Structure 1
């Protein structure tokens, strides 16, 4: 749908209050959300058929109908916070959603061939676009906001926290699995004097990362993690495990185990979910992160069995709410620069993505974990750090 047609859609208060409208109205009222209400978190319908589309297609219908301009909400983050705290999504059971979950359960959607899809679809969107949205180091993962007042400071605080948890020292060789634009490697090389090798599945990220890290002892590789087979003193993976998939967790941990020195440390930073089942969402899979899957604590723990000792587990998922809101602010400010190349439907899609995720973290529906892992038999006691 073109931007002009989105803007011209008429506002309709529930299409005559159909049965679907009344049912959706009843569900949302349990979360304190009104259809066609005036509060910032209320859902305002702009054409007929919204309720039917949502009830027929679940999260996919909710997201696509917003992208198409069928409904609006002033503060989507507040909408999703309320929706998830009331557990409304679990009340809508759909064959379409069930099929998506069964497909992910039966098939390996994160094979070595499929691994490149998310790079092309998401991370290769454009370096200028991401530079406008992110902090100055282009760190596309959760910031750590304790004692930090700006996004730049909060991201550096997170990077330094990772370095201290790993006990980095000059001369160490560090592997970064899913290195992005190299923000961690650049920080670690500059501040801690280490050498780094980073792997990514995004050609755009690697090209810019090489420019940004020129002159530092940093090597970028365009490669899948499964190809790695060499030893490193330390391993870090920040925000990549969400693309691995449960059928590959054991393989991923085998790679980390064979690449980690016997006395080394491995820090795994990942978004995670609370509930059992399958950590996929049809809308997010189609539009943002193809083949993405969020793990549970139990799944990560099982993958570590007979491979690693868990030295530390740290959850600061609430900080992702503030991070996403900062990214959304930057995105909204920078949008006029990109409006001519990215249409109105994209703007609504990206706004929906950032703010629905902020609401999910605010509701504590999803988390951010940092696991520090070592090999069995490693001598010494892992120090607990003051944040």
Structure 2
């Protein structure tokens, strides 16, 4: 076979009904496609068998993680081109259509079978989450899901996230650096919560302790941080001790549903609610409401997806579910606000910082690429490839408004319905130094 690239290009173009904007280089050394365009490298025929057995995103993801397909050229540009052709093709009603629903896919599959060979499906790369059992978002299943994502190794996260060890959207100013942008985000949360000396703060999903440390050191708060990750907790406790804040900060390995030592003056939940799931979100809102004092504030920092025309048909992203955030779910921001209000909260402020997350993710990708060999040694070749694809694709999703991220400030009303907030509450818009 000396013309695999040409045959593969013809099959894809027939399926899509248009010319491919990328070149294809196949395992036999052949190339096809526009000169000078980014190159999609198909290193092994096994990649095609993955597509046959798992058409669409998951098959492509498995081939990427295994190193059977690769990209030469600008990663973001190539993902943009491929996404426009494969994942986001509109039908007449404007809905996104997966190629498997296109009747032309049968002819494509037959041609692919001739190229790939009639072998059994290859096993998934070892980084993929194995079959999960039991109901969604039980304590045990949530702990397993969190362990898959966060117990990759603290050294790996240091490499990607930088010294701040903040794994959520930073808050940028023009020309800012990642560390400063993450510090500004933590300070923004503290100001929205109106933290002051002696306040009790519960940090739900505290990660490696950055929010807890900032609130205690800069605002004098007494902080309880909870996480399901043992590795995160050990790292956070070490940082707390090194900062001399052990008398102000307690880090627990604990499910938020098991916190019983309220009331707290404030609650921060930064990048954690995505793990809660639709079936548990009202329980999450009820629990946090019960843990707050009257007049206490909750800052819920959460990624959101765009609403689907048919919400009952929405499915979690296959690649993200299998390799990144098992059982993670995104909801539209309106649904999140409604659930919080149904629990008794009053919504006081919603700020979209979507573009800020795109900038953050591009910095994380740059950190990973700069120290690629070290990242592979710390985890595995497949795991490093998972992270590169996941972060780059997510950056594009934020840039193109496929997903967003919002800081939602709500308050538990005090007696008589008082919010105990000033008439002009948005003093947090001033910079920490301004």
Instruction: State the TM-score bracket (shorter-chain normalisation).
Output: 0.7 to 0.9
Report the Cα offset of residue 246 of structure 1. 0.2
Q: Aligned pairs, how many?
A: 364
Q: How does 1:305-316 map to 2 (within 5 A)?
A: 305-306=341-342, 307-316=344-353
1:45 counterpart = 2:36 = no
1:77 counterpart = 2:76 = yes
Counterpart secondary structure, 1:287 = helix
Q: In structure 2, what is the Cα distance between the partners aligned to 1:38 and 1:323?
A: 33
CA gap 1:231/1:336 in 2 versus in 1, 3 angstroms:
same
CA gap 1:248/1:338 in 2 versus in 1, 3 angstroms:
same
Counterpart secondary structure, 1:252 = helix
Could you say which residue in structure 1 is the equivalent of 2:326?
A: 290
- Are the aligned partners of 2:178 and 2:360 in contact in 1 as well (CA < 8 Å)? yes
The match for 2:56 among 55, 58, 64 is 58
Q: How does 1:75-224 map to 2 (within 5 A)?
A: 75-83=74-82, 87-88=88-89, 90-92=96-98, 94=100, 108-147=135-174, 149-214=176-241, 215-216=244-245, 217-224=248-255
1:228 counterpart = 2:256 = no
The CA deviation string for residues 122-150 of structure 1, in whole angstroms up to 9 with x for no partner, is 11110111111113120001111124521
- Are the aligned partners of 1:28 and 1:88 in contact in 2 as well (CA < 8 Å)? no
Q: In structure 2, what is the Cα distance between the partners aligned to 1:209 and 1:199?
A: 10
Report the Cα offset of residue 43 of structure 1. 3.3
TM-score (norm 1): 0.86
Q: In structure 2, what is the Cα distance between the partners aligned to 1:83 and 1:330?
A: 24
Report the Cα offset of residue 354 of structure 1. 1.5
CA gap 1:209/1:250 in 2 versus in 1, 3 angstroms:
same
CA gap 1:343/1:379 in 2 versus in 1, 3 angstroms:
closer
Q: In structure 1, what is the Cα distance between the partners aligned to 2:336 and 2:424?
A: 20
Could you say which residue in structure 2 is the equivalent of 1:379?
A: 420
CA gap 1:148/1:195 in 2 versus in 1, 3 angstroms:
farther
Q: How does 1:251-262 map to 2 (within 5 A)?
A: 251-262=283-294
What is the RMSD of the two structures over their aligned residues, measured on CA atoms?
2.6
Q: In structure 1, what is the Cα distance between the partners aligned to 2:226 and 2:318?
A: 28
The CA deviation string for residues 276-316 of structure 1, in whole angstroms up to 9 with x for no partner, is 33361111111111111111123202312331111000111
Q: In structure 2, what is the Cα distance between the partners aligned to 1:60 and 1:28?
A: 24
Report the Cα offset of residue 344 of structure 1. 2.5
CA gap 1:337/1:51 in 2 versus in 1, 3 angstroms:
closer
Could you say which residue in structure 1 is the equivalent of 2:385?
A: 348
Q: In structure 1, what is the Cα distance between the partners aligned to 2:59 and 2:168?
A: 27
TM-score (norm 2): 0.77
Q: In structure 2, what is the Cα distance between the partners aligned to 1:120 and 1:264?
A: 31
Counterpart secondary structure, 1:57 = coil
CA gap 1:13/1:315 in 2 versus in 1, 3 angstroms:
same
**Structure with the larger RCO, 1 or 2 (CA within 8 Å, 6+ apart):** 1
CA gap 1:13/1:175 in 2 versus in 1, 3 angstroms:
same
CA gap 1:298/1:28 in 2 versus in 1, 3 angstroms:
farther
Q: In structure 1, what is the Cα distance between the partners aligned to 2:164 and 2:60?
A: 34
The CA deviation string for residues 145-168 of structure 1, in whole angstroms up to 9 with x for no partner, is 124521101101111111111111
- Are the aligned partners of 1:28 and 1:34 in contact in 2 as well (CA < 8 Å)? no
Q: In structure 2, what is the Cα distance between the partners aligned to 1:11 and 1:181?
A: 51
Could you say which residue in structure 1 is the equivalent of 2:128?
A: none
Q: In structure 1, what is the Cα distance between the partners aligned to 2:424 and 2:149?
A: 37
- Are the aligned partners of 2:159 and 2:375 in contact in 1 as well (CA < 8 Å)? no
- Are the aligned partners of 1:226 and 1:255 in contact in 2 as well (CA < 8 Å)? yes
Q: In structure 1, what is the Cα distance between the partners aligned to 2:377 and 2:148?
A: 19
Counterpart secondary structure, 1:199 = strand
Structure 2: gaps of 5 or more residues: 25-32, 91-95, 102-133
- Are the aligned partners of 1:123 and 1:202 in contact in 2 as well (CA < 8 Å)? yes
CA gap 1:243/1:324 in 2 versus in 1, 3 angstroms:
same
Report the Cα offset of residue 244 of structure 1. 0.4
Counterpart secondary structure, 1:331 = helix
Report the Cα offset of residue 22 of structure 1. 2.5
CA gap 1:78/1:319 in 2 versus in 1, 3 angstroms:
farther
The CA deviation string for residues 86-111 of structure 1, in whole angstroms up to 9 with x for no partner, is 7238221548xxxxxxxxxxx84212
